[in-house]
Amino acid sequence: MKLRIAVLPGDGIGPEISEQGVAVMNAVCEKFGHTVTYEYAICGADAIDKVGDPFPEETFQTCMRADAVLFSAVGDPRFDNDPTAKVRPEQGLLAMRKRLGLYANVRPVETFDCLIHKSPLKDELVRGADFICIRELTGGMYFGEKYQDNDKAWDTNYYSRPEIERILRVGYDYARRRRHHLTVVDKANILASSRLWRQVAQEMAPQYPDVTTDFMYVDTASMRMIQEPRFFDVMVTENTFGDILTDEGSCITGSMGLLPSASTGEHTPVFEPVHGSWPQAKGQNIANPLAQILSVAMLFEYFNLENEGRLIREAVAASLDANVRTPEIQVQEGPHFGTKEVGAWIVDYICKA
């Protein structure tokens, strides 16, 4: 298979973990006889510094020419600490999602037995947790009409029926491939937009008689994820709720550095870790590359290259079992491995498999 990949390293630790993701992709393609070419592009604070735009037109065109985008992270404290900034790195991420029509964000949450001790939750609660959160990505307050002055501000949480229907179909499709259980998360007791979500979901549920559909308020879901994470199979929710719940999900695994994601929709799909740019760690060779590497696994699986994705997951699990880990997930007094060393170990495992 021939793959053309747009690589967007972005800011902070992005270039470091991107390098490891590309190395793993090269190893897998060589192993399975695929041809891959890369085209690099700028985004985020890096793009603001260079051209004044966090998602410039040329980067968009690069993404459109590609079969898939391997994205890393954007963000810089220079902008975080300036509430008056008119241009921000994160606007580039939102622009990418909107212009590529990436309305479905798929974030798996899966535990590794050898890292259960890193979770702040009890072993008996998190062991075996395995669910997917599907977040609507191009609607809601993030993209609705906004206003701000010195005394008041508002954000409009707008959703239309077609937007809700298409993301629910994604949720049902994933549920059918897994354990046939879909949880629709909303705030229908308070929000009109959520009431439309629930109405549409109730109308669609009979079309999927093989899937058990239940409904849960977002506050209840946030508690249930901590109290009983094994309850969930696939959850689907709107943009803002999904952003919060998926970060909460990282606590279950013990590290946000383990969570990959896929964003799919109308045009080129994007594969990225769910963590941020961690600018304080830039250049220190301590960032965990596993979420980026697992995002590469999701990329292969998107193209129905299941064996390729499976080998990456096997290599990641083997690295963890061998205590080849970056500092934030290393066992006490365990050996030191940096970003590059973890990536190299996984590449070596793939080559020898």
Domain edge (last residue) among 261, 278, 306: 261
Q: Are 293 and 21 in contact (CB under 8 A)?
A: yes
142 labelled catalytic: yes
- pLDDT band of residue 124 (cuts 50, 70, 90) is confident
Nearest-angstrom CA–CA distance, 259 and 1 = 27
Taking only the tens place, the pLDDT of each residue in 39-59 is: 999 999 999 999 999 999 999
Taking only the tens place, the pLDDT of each residue in 45-98 is: 999 999 999 999 999 999 999 999 999 999 988 887 666 778 889 899 989 999
Q: In terms of domains, do 112 and 212 share one?
A: yes
Q: In terms of domains, do 70 and 147 share one?
A: no
Residue linked to tokens 């879901």: 221
CA distances to 74, 250, 309 from 316, rounded to whole Å, are 24, 17, 11
Burial of 81 from C-beta contacts in 10 A (0-12 / 13-18 / 19+) = exposed
349 labelled catalytic: no
Q: Which of 123, 214, 219, 348 is catalytic?
A: 219
Greatest Cα pair distance, the chain, in angstroms, is: 62
Domain that holds residue 243: 105-261
Nearest-angstrom CA–CA distance, 289 and 176 = 31
Domain edge (last residue) among 226, 261, 296: 261
CATH of the domain at 71: 3.40.718.10
Q: In terms of domains, do 250 and 115 share one?
A: yes
Taking only the tens place, the pLDDT of each residue in 221-254 is: 999 999 999 999 999 999 999 999 988 887 788 7
Nearest-angstrom CA–CA distance, 279 and 158 = 33
- 8 versus 113: the higher-pLDDT residue is 8
**Could you tell me the pTM of the whole model?**
0.89
147 labelled catalytic: no
Q: How many CB atoms lie within 10 A of CB 275?
A: 24
80 labelled catalytic: no
Q: Which of 103, 142, 159, 349 is catalytic?
A: 142
Q: In terms of domains, do 22 and 83 share one?
A: yes
174 labelled catalytic: no
Q: In terms of domains, do 114 and 208 share one?
A: yes
Q: How many residues does the chain have?
A: 353
Domain edge (last residue) among 199, 233, 261: 261
Q: Which of 247, 282, 302, 340 is catalytic?
A: 247
Out of 118-122, 155-159, 200-204, 260-264, pick the least confident.
Answer: 118-122
Q: In terms of domains, do 138 and 245 share one?
A: yes
Q: In terms of domains, do 197 and 234 share one?
A: yes
Q: Which of 46, 174, 243, 349 is catalytic?
A: 243
